[in-house]
Structure 1
Amino acid sequence: MAVSAVRLRGVPLALLRGELSAHKSRPSLLILQELDLRAESIVEVDTQHLLKSHGIAYDAQVQLPGIGRVDFLIEGVLIVEVDGFAFHADRSALRRDLFRNNASTFKGLSVLRYPPEAIWYEPGRVIAEIRAVLERRRDAPPRLVSK
């Protein structure tokens, strides 16, 4: 709700902090201190929480040369995209994402894509897959692309 208030409704974060401080709401103030306003949707907020709660560091809304903006970049090698239907409902969006996946692979990055339902109803699966990809990447010997 705080992300929605700040990003979508234009409520200044300082105002929220001030109001909560006046009411001495310590738990809420602690949550606001950790608020990551880079999320562009509620499912991205939920994904941020999921990653944080499992100790997985990430960068959000990262612009990658030759690829474009990605939802999450983990350890500089894994892109995690959360694809809601509203932003992926037409052929041009599909084409754009397919080409972005190809560019990511060509540049040596792994990509995992999830629908919102996976974040909400199968968080264990999402975390297990992220950890498996990261572990495999750490254990794999470096490869050189031949020309």
Structure 2
Amino acid sequence: MDICDYLARRGGAARSLELQRAGFTRTRVGQAVALGVVVRTRRGVYALPGDGRVAGALAAGGRLTCLSAAPIYRLWTLNVPTGLHLSRSHPTHTSGVVDHGRPKHPRHPWLPVLGLADVLVHAVHCLPELEALVMVQSAVGAGDISRDFLYARCQGRRNGRARAVLDLVIPRADSVLEVLANVHFARAGLRVRRHVYIAGVGEVDFLVEECLVVETDGSTHFEPKSIKRDQRRNNRSIVGGYLVLRYYYEDVIHRPEAMVAEVQAVLRVWRRPTNSRLGDLFA
């Protein structure tokens, strides 16, 4: 096996002892370093160039958890991880490292990463509310863990904040945008149904107050075929008697207050008497 392939399967890094056990001699490792396809991050730790999470965990003597473990489990995140979130047997002050508690559940079988349960429990205690929510939602939605299981690990008065995050998890969400838009609409007091099927249109992301269709569109909706399909869906929704608004990543992530304000403004117009609405439309 090629040393790069081996390291890739190990999350991008391994200790020299692991490499030797896998059959890579010191000479072979040295040649890979000389060619630049492998880097020596510190004494006894070798890694592929680029992402250094696993190498950082090995160098710091810990296991990845919380936000730093999200890419390993392919969890949704809002921000690119900065620094390292680790679980270490003997934590010491290390610049750029956030130390978490020791594991209480089975660890990852071969990578220096905590198990998914510990990763998520650490996240709901450590991260800002919405950042923790999207991680938990993606794991629950994929069927990798249940919300009830996490609830059971977050009992007691000190875990109220963690349970508040779990309360925001919904049965199904197809994207980060759906998760966050649902939170913002609910907190604005809007009556919302998700994944509603409308005859002639198909399934829509949200039906707000039974009259307004709201769609949250990711990057795939910018493809020419998708744009035409979405515009035709808009037309069919309006012909069917619904209003339609569409929001994108920037709206949901960076301008949620403006998004909610627009939804509320449209609903206010819709609730006016018919003649008044027509006057607004043709003024």
TM-score scaled by length of structure 2? 0.46
Identify the range of structure 1 (130-139 vs 118-127) with the bigger mean alpha-carbon deviation: 118-127
Gaps of 5+ in 2: 1-134, 278-283
Instruction: Kindly report which structure 2 residues correspond to 1:39-50, keeping only aligned pairs within 5 A, or say none.
Output: 39-50=173-184
Equivalent residues in 2 for 1:5-84, closer than 5 Å: 5-8=139-142, 10-21=144-155, 25-84=159-218
Cα 1:99/1:42, change in 2 over 3 Å:
same
C-alpha displacement of 1:105: 0.8
The equivalent residue for 2:236 is 103
In 2, the alpha carbon distance for the partners of 1:31 and 1:119 equals 18
Paired AA for residue 40 in structure 1: D
Shift of 1:12: 1.8
Q: Distance in 1 between matches of 2:227 and 2:159?
A: 44
Q: What's the counterpart of residue 109 of structure 2?
A: none
For 1:66, give the aligned amino acid: G
Q: Residue 168 of structure 2 contacts residue 183 of structure 2 at CA under 8 Å; is this kept in 1? A: no
Query: What's 2:37 paired with?
Result: none
**1:20 aligned counterpart, secondary structure:** coil
Which amino acid counterpart does residue 159 of structure 2 have in structure 1?
S
Is 1:112 the equivalent of 2:245? yes
Q: Which residues of 2 match residues 104-143 of structure 1 at below 5 A?
A: 104-141=237-274
Distance apart, 1:89 and its partner CA: 3.9
Unaligned stretches of 5+ residues in structure 1: none
CA distance in 2, matches of 1:67, 1:75: 18
Q: Which amino acid aligns with 2:265?
A: A
Larger C-alpha radius of gyration, 1 or 2? 2
Q: CA deviation at 1:24?
A: 5.6
Distance 2:274 2:176 in 1: 37
Calculate the TM-score normalised by the size of structure 1. Answer: 0.85
Name the structure where helix makes up a greater proportion of residues: 1
Q: Which runs of 4+ in 1 moved over 4 A?
A: none
Q: Render the CA deviation track for 1:93-137: whole Å, top value 9, x for unaligned.
A: 222211111100101111001111011222222112101110111
Displacement of 1:11 after TM fit? 1.1
Tell me, what secondary structure is at the counterpart of 1:55?
coil
SS in structure 1 of the partner of residue 274 of structure 2: coil
Kindly indicate whether the alpha-carbon contact (under 8 Å) linking 2:237 and 2:244 is maintained by their aligned counterparts in 1. yes
